[in-house]
Amino acid sequence: MRVLTGFWIAAMLLLFAPLTFADSCYDLVNNRNFDCDAQAQPPRRPQESAPKPAEDRSKLREELRQRLNEKSPAESRVTPEELGKRIADAQGRMETALKNPTAAGARQRYDAAVADLKGAYNDAANRVSPALRAGLRDNARMLEARYDELAARANWNGTPPTASPEPVPAQPANMAEAPPVSADPGDVGIGAGGYVFVCDGPIDAAKVSCREVQPDGRQCLAVMSFETQINWRDSTTTPCSGSDLARRNAFLLAHPEVSGAVAAAAMSYECGDIAKNYVAAAQANNGPAAAAALEALQKAGGCGLLTHVSPQAAPTESDPRFVSRGATPMLDQTVAACDQQPEACAAVVNQLRTGTSSQAVAALYSNAIQIGLEIGAMMGSAVLSAQQNTMAARRLNMNSAGAPLIRRGGGPPNGGSTVYRPRPPVSGCVIGGPGWCTAQ
Amino acid sequence: MKMLAALIACSWVFVTHAAAPAAPTYGDAFKGLYNQSSAAVPVEAPVTVQPPLAILFSDNVELWFQYVKSSVAYWAGIVPSSLTNNVVLADTDPNFLGGRVLAMLKRHFPTSEYVKDFREAVASGKTGAIVVDVLPKGMEPYGDRTTKFDIILYFFDANMSPVSRISGHGERRVPFGAADAGVQVAVDGALRELDTKVDKLVH
């Protein structure tokens, strides 16, 4: 009978599966319980009481955006062509100063032009990938060495410079009007795009095989030139031979006037790669790669592409699609608190998981069986008068959750050490105390 | 014996005639958040997001949490505290669902933050958003004893337009005699499925 009653009680417990515990809330921010009904939101610590001012953050962000936009607007819009022109312009001023070193202020003009040349190369180098940067720096160094040599020959105190063994050729008025492969006494020349061609014979021959050295200074593309016109190109590039690169460098050293065109070609080459990567990333829906390519494109001055794209308007707070949300007390007490204190939240989740473990279930069953057995024993006492003395004091009060359910021994109803309280099924949870991990 | 019969009768009254809170009716995931139907969002389309992201929870989640709270309060008035089924309390606690979903999302998007609505998302400079929706189906003691959870993530691009809907499903058939309601198992299953899909579809 006692066992039967015990199992009946256990079965009833399972039927009453939905839940009983004190209506208390747990504040993840302050790690304490509070009365949910007394206050919709737990009071926060003074330093946390003020919500983060979204408006202030918005203003700050806007200010940062403006500052970023204001930062070097001229620099950020420099195109390869403009950089090529800056280099050519600096070179032109350097040569003018060198031609007449005795003129008033020639030295100052020369120094200023050198500074501009370096600045232009730096700007170009900062806008290309590391692979191309090294090539540009090499070109800049070659050019500087060349002009240092010329400057050393000039007597800035009034003596005319000695004749240069290799007179500096005149700067082409317009790079775009240069022939596809410029005629050169040798077999190396430069095309309109700023690419250097290294040929197996005279560059203006009726038919000659050449290699178009790519701006990275490493890859070459095989081409066929017919009287300086390229009418066949290989489909892929191959690594340049050492001799081809040496001939190219010698050509650049001897022809500093083409440096601007070469630098511009390097940047344009980079633009082509960036644009290709950007399109590929966008087509693959690859956000990080697209963002990186866009940043590189912006860094390269837009490559003439971004000006054709109208910027997408960012949504504003007053966007008609957005609904002003009403109160969400449960989300505020659970998810919002969890977001603010992820460690405490993880601890709560772990305790809740422990609360459904087999040990917790076993404790629940054990508790139910114990209570059932006690009730069975109590009812048995009514029949077995022989045990009346020991069982008389036991009472069952199912209407008061706070009062002890069952008393053992003969003490007073509310008193003393003889009160029996069944152990809570789960003893490890400290989040909600007696009410368990109750955030509601 | 008479006492036992009275106790059984009393329990039967509790079970059959008590007005337990009714399960809520769940609505559109964007209700109260965004003026558009969530049904039009492409299902499991590959999506590219740009952090930081805002994390929003739909009204359905709030409804579920309120339902749990009202159920707890209701049964607390019937079952003595010493007989409380603490296992089912732990199983259904809203902190589990909220905490697990947040942890999973933050693992994928470490700079993401919970916000209340889209206006707060834009005001706080978020360049995308995820709306978390949930469709729970609790076990029925005398019917379908399966607890089911569908957790759905709606991804919004930098223009705060919905671009993809990715869902995960988990369920547990609760056997007779089980002390829990199968919520944690179902939530874990749904999140496991979601985790895999987010890995695959979200860049």
What pLDDT is stored for residue A269 in this prediction?
A: 74
Q: Confidence class of residue A152 from pLDDT cuts 50, 70 and 90?
A: confident
What pLDDT is stored for residue B69 in this prediction?
A: 93
Residue of higher predicted confidence among A231 and B98: B98
Q: What is the 3-state secondary structure (H, E, C) of A214-234?
A: CCCCCEEEEEEEECCEEEEEC
What pLDDT is stored for residue B14 in this prediction?
A: 47
What pLDDT is stored for residue A417 in this prediction?
A: 40
Residue of higher predicted confidence among A66 and B105: B105
Q: Confidence class of residue B120 from pLDDT cuts 50, 70 and 90?
A: very high
ipTM passes above 0.90: no
> H-type helices in A213-316, by residue range?
242-254, 259-283, 287-299
The neighbouring-strand residues paired with A26 are: A33
**Residue A331 Ramachandran class (φ > 0 left, ψ -120 to 50 alpha, else beta):** alpha
Residue to substitute from B71, B79, B112, interface A, most A β-carbons within 10 A: B79
- Per residue in B137-155, pLDDT tens? 988 878 889 999 999 999 9
Residue to substitute from A8, A15, A352, A420, interface B, most B β-carbons within 10 A: A352
Q: Print burial letters for A392-421: b (CB count within 10 Å at least 16), e (below 16).
A: ebbeeeeeebeebbbbeeeeeeeeeeebee
Nearest to B94 by CA among A71, A431, A155, A79: A431
- What is the torsional sign of CA A130, A134, A139, A144? positive
d(CA B71, CA B81): 15
> Does residue A291 surpass a pLDDT of 50?
yes
Query: Is the whole model's pTM more than 0.80, yes or no?
Result: no
The neighbouring-strand residues paired with A406 are: A420
What pLDDT is stored for residue B39 in this prediction?
A: 92
The radius of gyration of chain A from alpha carbons, rounded to an integer in Å, stands at 43
A293 has a chain B CB within 8 A of its CB: no
Task: Give percent of chain B with pLDDT exceeding 70.
Answer: 91
**Closest-CA distance of chain A to residue B103, Å:** 8
Residue to substitute from A325, A400, A423, interface B, most B β-carbons within 10 A: A325
Q: Confidence class of residue B80 from pLDDT cuts 50, 70 and 90?
A: confident
- Chain A residue with Cα closest to B184: A353
Alpha carbon distance, N-terminus to C-terminus of chain B: 68
Task: Give contacts of B81 with chain A, Cβ < 8 Å.
Answer: 20-22, 401-402, 434
- As a whole number, mean pLDDT of residues A256-281 equals 77
| Nearest beta carbon to residue B98 from set A316, A335, A436 | A335
Alpha carbon distance, N-terminus to C-terminus of chain A: 40
The residue to which tokens 């700023």 are assigned:
A194
Kindly report the length of chain B.
Answer: 203
Q: Can you point out the beta strands (E) in A285-417? A: 406-407
- What is the torsional sign of CA A100, A106, A112, A115? positive
Task: Give contacts of B48 with chain A, Cβ < 8 Å.
Answer: 285-288, 290
d(CA B103, CA B85): 27
A436–B86 C-beta distance less than 8 A = yes
A55 has a chain B CB within 8 A of its CB: yes
